Structures are given as structure tokens and as C-alpha cells.
Chain A
Amino acid sequence: MNRGLIAIGGLIVVLAIVAMGLTGTYNRLVTLDQTVQSQWAQVESVYQRRADLIPNLVSTVKGAANFEKSTYVAVAEARSKVGQLNLGSGVPNDPAAFAKFQAAQDGLSSALSRLLVVVEKYPDLKATQNFSDLQAQLEGTENRIAVERMRFNRAAQTFNTTRDSFPTVLVAGLFGPRFNEKTYFKSQAGSETAPQVKF
């Protein structure tokens, strides 16, 4: 047996093992990336659900006598900022786009919570069937947002843990921004606590 032949054979075996490793790593990253993307779609859909509630909410409080105009105007403005977001599909891979998305949505959250504080001063409005239905929908939607964000963060963490582990981290960079580290939702200071009514 020729020594050179053995060396070439050994090299081929080593290359084959490396190629198999690459394939496996790539496929694993694709699977985890798909999980993150589908969870991101869930996040977008629950935020969209909230945005869809705003027009009805604004017209309901507008109907109440002397309702403070600035609060619902702020909600409508924050809603239109959310509507203008046009970030494409790669948001979880792009920290800048992600920050924009979260800033706009958090803006709507705080405008909404200010409005709900003001509503406390209008017991007649609160007592109507229409408003209590709206309030139930808003509460449910905020709860859904919390759930889907939590699940998104979990999927993103699973992806990032795999992506940043050795030796995957050496491979992940070869495929462009698709396998960038995923960004997480951060809870805003004070956003976890319900709005307080002070007199």
C-alpha cells in the first residue's frame, strides 16, 4: 500500500466528516431560525390585534361628554406611528429595526395606559357595555402580547445558545445576516406595573 494513497484517503475522510458536521450545523440553525421566525409572526399578530382595537376605543371615548382630547389624540398618533412601521421580515436579525419596532409599540402602550387612567374619572363611560367589552379585549390583548413576547424570547434564546456554542459559532457567520444573533424584547422600566391613579 502506498503511503501517499493512505494520506489522501485520510484527508478525504476528514473532509467528509467536516462536511457532515457543517450540514448538521446548518440544518439545526435553519430549524431554530424557523421557530424564531414563526414566533415573531405570532408577536406581530398580537400587536396587530391591539392596533385594530384602537379606532373603536378612540371613537368610544370621543363619545363621552368632555373627554380630555389630548389623551385620545396621543393614542391615535401612537397608533399611526405603529402603522407606519415598515420593517420587512428580518426584524429579529436586525437590532436597529427591532429597537424601532419596540419603541413604537411601547409608545402605544404608554399612551394607552395614560388613557385608561383618565377613563377612571368617567364612571358613566366605564359603566357602558361597549366600554367594558373594549376593556376586556384590551386586557386580553396585553396578556397575549406578554405571552407571545415571552415565547419569542425563549425561542430566540434557544437559537442564540446554539448559534454561539462552539463550534457552531465558527459556521454561523458564513451565511450572512440570516443567522445573526436574535434580539430580545426588554421590559421597559415601569411597564410591568399597572398604571396608578393618583389624586
Chain B
Amino acid sequence: MRALGCALALLTFIGLATAANGAEVPVPRSPAHWATDNAGFLSAQAVDALDARLRAYESASGHQVLVYVTPTTGDTPTEDWTVRTFARWKVGRKGLDDGLVLFVFPADRKVRIEVGYGLEQKIPDATAARIIRDITPKLKAGDPDAAVTSGVDEILRALEGQTRAGGSGAPGAGSGAYGKNDEGPRGTMPPDPVPAPADSGSSRLWDIVGVWIGVLIGLAVVVGIIVLIMKLPDPPKGAYISSRSSGFGLWDVLNIVGSVAGVAAGGFSGGGGMSGGGGATGSW
């Protein structure tokens, strides 16, 4: 009976943590395809062709490159929305951060290339801005298929190291030393907003004892939460940061299940990459 109560309280807690997570990042779940159009902006053939191409590109090069068309980012500024979305989808491989997403927002008339940390050398901001300047006239002219397809052409060409002739100063931001604490290329040191669990330094005995202390603390927390739930009808707002970093919520479980299912079905699934706001935005 008591165990049942604890389990119920735990479920409620997971539910609260999930609700808080959802409020923090109003961004979509990871797409199942490499090319996605939620806005009916591109033709179905163009989407299929892009999807097949980008899927093949990932198997060949390892880089995850996505196209994502959705009507609008709402009240959120474009760059803010795209960096959060990228972080949730985890585009690119973990540690290499070699992902890239071409976002198109037809209702906002905006387009953005969001570049993972590991590809900032190959596609510096100036290159991303040039690609966008090349495709916005086609968007303006009402030919979205050609615009997005040629944008992907240029992105893949740049990733293969074939920069366009006639450029000056483009790689400026990509070279030179950055912070004194940087030990190498940026891709090798992705920031991890979720602190990794402490390892080493403690013996097995401590670990075992620690587990039991953890169990005791856990029980105390559950009891505390039951008390809290009885006292507070609403989940506390603005407390998402601590819950995000400590909670392994239902959302994460769903994400993992979804990823596994996606791999089984041959769909896209993020590899654990991050972006830091690199890239460029344009409007038409």
C-alpha cells in the first residue's frame, strides 16, 4: 500500500517536471525525417528528394544536415527559437557537433541557417549569410522549391570545402585563437548545460553506501513532495532550471523511446550535437 503511494507520488513528480520542461522550450519534437515541411510550403516531390539526399549525405559523411519548414516561431525571436530547437533535437554527433539545420519560416518570411559548433569552421557566418543572400531572391520570386534545393546544394558544397570563388575575408572568424581556456577546435569542447555525474575519486564502498543514503534521501524527497502537493495545488512556475538539470523526466524517456523507434524505422534521430548560435538569418 505504501509502495503504491510512493509510486503514485513519483509519477506525479515526473509529470510536474515534464510540464515545467514543456513550458521552458516551446519548440517541436525532433523530426522523423531529414527534410520536413509543416507549412505546405514546398512540393511533396521536393521534400522527398531533399530527404533522400540528406539521409544519404549523413550515411556518407556522418554530418546531420536537416531542412525544416514551419510557419512561424511565434513571439520568440528567430535566433532564440532555432538555437533551442537545435539543442532539443541534438543535431550532429556528440562531441563533434557536426549538425546543421536550414530553417524556413514562411509566415515570418524568414530563413535561418543554424550551424553546429563543429561546422563553424566550414560554414562561418559570412558563408551562411552568402547562401541566404543567394536564395532569398528565389523565395521572393515565389519559387520555394528552387530556393531551398539550391540552398542545400550550396550548404553541402561548402561542407565539402568547395568555397565559392571571389570571396574575401570569409574565414576570418574561423581562424585564430579564441579564449585562453580553449584547447583546440571548438567542436572538441561542447558546453554541456546538464552537469555530468561526478565520477572517480570515490571507492566502491562509498558508492554502495551512497546509494543507500540516496535511497533514504529519495524517500524523504517523496514524502516531502506528497506534503508539497497537498499544500500547493499549482506546480511552482519559474523553477524549471533545477528540475531540468536534475530530473530525468518522462520527456527524456519518450525521446529515447522515439529515437530507438526512429532508428528501427530508418528515420532521423539526433546524435547529441549542439550549436552555439552560429549561422545567419535572412528575410524576404
Contacts and interface: CB of A to CB of B under 8 A. Distances in A.
B280 A147 contact: no
B173 A155 contact: no
A39 B191 CA distance: 6
Given A20-B206, A20-B210, A46-B276, A137 B179 contact: no
B129 interface: yes
Given A38-B191, A41-B182, A129 B167 contact: yes
* Among B129, B277, B281: residue with most chain A CB under 10 A: B277
A132 B168 CA distance: 11
A187 interface: no
B191 A136 contact: no
A134 B241 contact: no
A23 interface: yes
Contact of B83 (A39, A56, A147): A147
A56 B169 contact: yes
Contacts of A20: 206, 209-210, 213
Contact of B178 (A31, A39, A49, A56): A49
Interface string B242-284: 1001000000000000000000000000000000111111000
Contacts of A130: 168-169
Contacts of B168: 129-130, 133
B191 A151 contact: yes
B79 interface: yes
B282 to A, nearest CB: 10
Contact of A133 (B167, B180, B189): B167
Given A35-B192, A129-B168, A137 B125 contact: yes
Contact of A136 (B125, B186, B192, B276): B125
B176 interface: yes
A88 to B, nearest CB: 10
Given A20-B206, A24-B213, A137-B125, A147 B241 contact: no
Contacts, number: 137
Interface residues of B, number: 48
A109 B186 CA distance: 23
Contacts of A117: none
A148 B276 contact: yes
B99 interface: no
A31 B280 contact: no
A191 interface: no
B276 A52 contact: no
A31 B198 contact: yes
**10 closest A-B pairs (Cβ-Cβ)?**
A140-B125, A45-B179, A136-B129, A147-B277, A41-B181, A133-B126, A45-B178, A44-B179, A143-B277, A144-B277
13 contacts: A17-B213, A20-B210, A31-B195, A44-B178, A45-B181, A132-B126, A133-B170, A139-B129, A140-B280, A143-B79, A143-B278, A144-B277, A146-B79
Interface of B: 79-80, 83, 124-126, 128-130, 133, 166-170, 172-173, 176-182, 186, 189, 191-193, 195-198, 201-202, 206, 209-210, 213, 241-242, 245, 276-281
Given A35-B192, A133-B130, A134-B126, 15 more contacts: A23-B206, A27-B202, A32-B195, A35-B195, A45-B186, A53-B172, A132-B133, A139-B125, A139-B281, A140-B279, A141-B125, A144-B276, A144-B277, A155-B193, A161-B241
